A and B are shown apart, each in its own frame.
Chain A
Amino acid sequence: MEKKSIETKRNTKSHLKTLTRNGRVKKLRTTRRVVKYGTAGFVRNIWLSIAATLVMTITLLILGLTVVANIVLSQTADSIRDKIDITIFFKPQTEDGILLEAKEIMAKDSNVKSVEIANSAEEYQRFLEENTDNEKLMEVLADEEMQEIMINTMQSTMRVKVKNVDNLDSVRNIVEDNELFKANLDSEKEPTYDVNRTEIATITSWANIAKNGGIILGIVFLVISILIIFNTIRMSIFSRREEIKMMKLVGADRHFIRGPFLVEARICGMISGFIASTIGYVGLIIFAPKVVNYGVDMSAITNIVQSEWIIAVYIAFITIGMIIGTFSAKLAIRKYLH
């Protein structure tokens, strides 16, 4: 009896070995068929396919918009921050040598991005340039004597741009402790780090909101979109659950059953990616110039849109669409494969 059982076990194993043998040609053939049936399924269930594609297009557009908004906001905030400098006022008629020496001291600080100096004459020129529209002032300054008084009383300046606007202690320390600075600073005019403090704080908080909010919004939209797409695909699969059951009963393996659904979802993702990036591209071309008028920095985005990088954007959108489609379809069909 035991001998017979061992023989049956051996027979079974040999039968199963023969059955499961699957050559490379067979695998290739199966893959080709999976793609064929996936494509046919997409066409034959065209209304469900259109619905899934539309949902995915909207999702990708929202995702794209979130990314663009994040980049634009961060960049706008950065460019505003970049315009902020700390102005340190030296006594009028401070010698250029002293100013240069002070510049060298300030430039050595690790938080300092750049230092610009201007003597009284240069400051006067700058003052003139800033006020060219003020005719009355120009009339007064046309007088040579007046000009001389202005140059003699104008402070020389040092404009410092820093890497981290939140921490100005090192700059403050130099200004307050360095002997050269102490000896030549204009006592009547304080450096402007306090004047810009609120502005700096506001911009910093905006930049942080843009960055963190963008990331959170992006994740929220991604989860919502996956849920929507997952449900759309699940609806499609639910309506075909009998088909799946039949496939299993006639001996189709998981790959053959799941494959066409994954192909359908990937086609949806591909088309959605293409449509979403085209809409985004056209939208940016139309709306970017209008937004720029409001002082928003769109340079990074327009640079991408107007260069060959746009191809990479298309590829990225199509890939993301395919990944979302595959993930949702896998999740949706899992239940019916067990």
Chain B
Amino acid sequence: MILLDNVTKIYPKDSEPALDNVSLHVDPNEFLFIVGQSGAGKSTLLKMLTKEENPSSGKIIVGGIDLDYVKKRHIPHYRRRLGVVFQDNKLLPSRTVYENVAFALEIAGMSNKEINRTVPKVLDLVGLLDKAHKFPSNLSGGEIQRVGIARSVARQPKILIADEPTANLDPVTTKEIIDLLKRINDFGTTVLVTTHNDGIVNYLQKRVVTLDHGKIISDQKGKGVYRLEKEDPKNKRKTMPKVDKRPLHATKTKTPPKKKIIRTI
């Protein structure tokens, strides 16, 4: 479903690459966490999947589309194939919950009839049907995030990308959001979630890819494969998460690792 082949991204003003020779393959219907400290390259990776940024080298194929061939004028059409949930709740403040969700369908040129049929179903899925006509300013953080999820899944995308969807949310709401993403994944959608919340990673026990300094340092599945270490505010990128350092091919197995090896680098 998603293929990154030796992808490197170097921003013009940076000396170090934001992503360094990253190769990753995500199967259809997979649930994948991308974890890592701030500055590890998670956001850059997502930005390249949404074609906000282009790789300096390497190849990215999403849902059969080679992003090298996606020209500027094709970008909106390409993005409509993806569902994207943003960390900072990017909703249209002057539109109601219903209109925000409908917006994703309107830009795709769907008829009003189709929209009126789809939006209530999606709002029901995220449990916000009763708040359809409220404005974002009247919703809680968790509700706003659920509207964001509703909007991103309204077009029934095959891939859902969520950038830190539980940032700034309390534990109960976080669990609700993660359960919602899990349900969406159960419907057959490939879900990519970036986070540095080890609680949700361990709660779901799905595949976890750990990034550090723009490199994949771990790719495995199971409980306890990622444990957050407190960041050093003075030097964010020098502190690394504790990870299982087994070779990548060994982590592709479906069974969780028998022995947890957690090392500090």
Bound pair: A and B? Answer: yes
Q: Is the CB–CB distance between A250 and B151 below 8 Å?
A: yes
Asked if A113 is at the interface (CB within 8 A of a chain B CB), the reply is no
Q: Is the CB–CB distance between A246 and B90 below 8 Å?
A: yes
Q: Is the CB–CB distance between B107 and A22 below 8 Å?
A: no
Q: How far is the CB of A75 from chain B (nearest CB, A)?
A: 50
Q: Is the CB–CB distance between B79 and A12 below 8 Å?
A: no
Closest A-B pairs by Cβ, 6 of them: A251-B79, A26-B109, A251-B80, A246-B90, A19-B77, A253-B76
Partner of A256, one of B78, B107, B151: B107
Q: Is the CB–CB distance between A8 and B84 below 8 Å?
A: no
Q: Is the CB–CB distance between B103 and A250 below 8 Å?
A: yes
In the complex, residue of chain A having the shortest beta-carbon distance to the beta carbon of B102: A33
Which parts of A199-251 form the interface with B (CB within 8 Å)?
242-243, 245-251
How far is it, in angstroms, between the C-alpha of A29 and the C-alpha of B108 when the chains are bound? 10
Asked if B248 is at the interface (CB within 8 A of a chain A CB), the reply is no
A170: B residues at CB distance < 8 A: none
Asked if A45 is at the interface (CB within 8 A of a chain B CB), the reply is yes
Q: How far is the CB of A67 from chain B (nearest CB, A)?
A: 38
Q: Is the CB–CB distance between A250 and B107 below 8 Å?
A: yes
Asked if A11 is at the interface (CB within 8 A of a chain B CB), the reply is yes
Chain A residues within 8 Å of chain B by Cβ, number: 32
How far is it, in angstroms, between the C-alpha of A52 and the C-alpha of B64 when the chains are bound? 47
How far is it, in angstroms, between the C-alpha of A26 and the C-alpha of B52 when the chains are bound? 26
The proximity string for A residues 60-81 relative to B, scoring 1 for CB distances below 8 Å and 0 otherwise, is 0000000000000000000000
Q: How far is the CB of B250 from chain A (nearest CB, A)?
A: 26
Q: Is the CB–CB distance between B69 and A16 below 8 Å?
A: yes
Q: How far is the CB of B72 from chain A (nearest CB, A)?
A: 10
Q: How far is the CB of A305 from chain B (nearest CB, A)?
A: 41
Q: How far is the CB of A136 from chain B (nearest CB, A)?
A: 84
Asked if A290 is at the interface (CB within 8 A of a chain B CB), the reply is no
Partner of B64, one of A11, A41, A45, A251: A11
Q: How far is the CB of B99 from chain A (nearest CB, A)?
A: 9
Asked if A164 is at the interface (CB within 8 A of a chain B CB), the reply is no
Q: Is the CB–CB distance between A16 and B65 below 8 Å?
A: yes
Asked if B104 is at the interface (CB within 8 A of a chain A CB), the reply is yes
Asked if A20 is at the interface (CB within 8 A of a chain B CB), the reply is yes
Partner of A8, one of B66, B70, B78: B66
A11, A12, A41, most chain B CB atoms within 10 A: A12
Q: Is the CB–CB distance between A12 and B69 below 8 Å?
A: yes
Asked if B106 is at the interface (CB within 8 A of a chain A CB), the reply is yes
B111: A residues at CB distance < 8 A: 29
Partner of A44, one of B65, B74, B94: B94
- Check A12/B66 contact, CB under 8 A, given A20-B74, A250-B84: yes
A40: B residues at CB distance < 8 A: 94
The proximity string for B residues 33-77 relative to A, scoring 1 for CB distances below 8 Å and 0 otherwise, is 000000000000000001010000000010111100110011011
Q: Is the CB–CB distance between A249 and B84 below 8 Å?
A: yes
A299: B residues at CB distance < 8 A: none
Q: How far is the CB of A8 from chain B (nearest CB, A)?
A: 5
In the complex, residue of chain B having the shortest beta-carbon distance to the beta carbon of A27: B109
In the complex, residue of chain B having the shortest beta-carbon distance to the beta carbon of A45: B94
List 8 extra interface pairs beyond A8-B66, A33-B106, A250-B80, CB under 8 A. Answer: A19-B81, A44-B94, A242-B90, A243-B93, A246-B90, A249-B86, A251-B80, A256-B106
Which parts of B91-118 form the interface with A (CB within 8 Å)?
91-94, 103-104, 106-109, 111
- Check A12/B70 contact, CB under 8 A, given A246-B92, A249-B52: yes
In the complex, residue of chain A having the shortest beta-carbon distance to the beta carbon of B69: A12
How far is it, in angstroms, between the C-alpha of A45 and the C-alpha of B93 when the chains are bound? 11
Which parts of A12-32 form the interface with B (CB within 8 Å)?
12-13, 15-16, 19-20, 22, 26-27, 29-30
B152: A residues at CB distance < 8 A: 250
Partner of A15, one of B50, B65, B76, B104: B65
How far is it, in angstroms, between the C-alpha of A252 and the C-alpha of B50 when the chains are bound? 13
Q: How far is the CB of A12 from chain B (nearest CB, A)?
A: 5
A26: B residues at CB distance < 8 A: 109
How far is it, in angstroms, between the C-alpha of A218 and the C-alpha of B178 when the chains are bound? 62
B108: A residues at CB distance < 8 A: 251
In the complex, residue of chain B having the shortest beta-carbon distance to the beta carbon of A41: B94
A27, A41, A252, most chain B CB atoms within 10 A: A252
Q: Is the CB–CB distance between A251 and B77 below 8 Å?
A: yes
Asked if A9 is at the interface (CB within 8 A of a chain B CB), the reply is yes
Q: How far is the CB of A115 from chain B (nearest CB, A)?
A: 71
The proximity string for B residues 160-171 relative to A, scoring 1 for CB distances below 8 Å and 0 otherwise, is 000000000000
How far is it, in angstroms, between the C-alpha of A30 and the C-alpha of B84 when the chains are bound? 22
Q: Is the CB–CB distance between B69 and A13 below 8 Å?
A: yes
How far is it, in angstroms, between the C-alpha of A41 and the C-alpha of B95 when the chains are bound? 9
Q: Is the CB–CB distance between B77 and A12 below 8 Å?
A: no
A11: B residues at CB distance < 8 A: 64-66
Q: Is the CB–CB distance between A252 and B65 below 8 Å?
A: no
How far is it, in angstroms, between the C-alpha of A19 and the C-alpha of B86 when the chains are bound? 24
